[in-house]
Structure 1
Amino acid sequence: MRTDPSETGAVLPDGSATNTDEDANHTGPTNYFQRTPTTSTTGGGEFDDIVVWLPANILINRMISAGRQL
């Protein structure tokens, strides 16, 4: 998932054009890529995905609060 350049969190419909790590994260795998943010001029392409680990109890609590089924 890509966000707009102003970093407001808006989702853009297209993933990274030059970075396979971001493209892989966009497909919803069970293993995500995390690395230092880079620009499109960097070897390997841009990378700005934010990956955060949430303990299961926090995730479940947030899902219940949002009315989501487990």
Structure 2
Amino acid sequence: MNNYLTIFINGDPFNCDSSMSLKDILLYLNFNINSIIIEYNQDIINLSSFDSISLKNNDHLEVITIVGGG
């Protein structure tokens, strides 16, 4: 049985374990989950939902980083 799936993050293919949640993947990729916005299959996802989202093959994520400054 194949335990891996391919998702697309900002248009680039990424292979991950099928048991990883959205939060697991973002932390693995060193994103600061408190300063990003996630678009999951064209829907904006709330930070509180990151743990409960299980990804499927060919899902698309857009990660938008919020940058502070003055």
TM-score when normalising by structure 1? 0.25
Larger fraction in helix: 1
Larger fraction in strand: 2
Q: Which has the higher contact order (CA 8 A, sep 6+)?
A: 2
TM-score when normalising by structure 2? 0.25
* Greater C-alpha Rg: 1
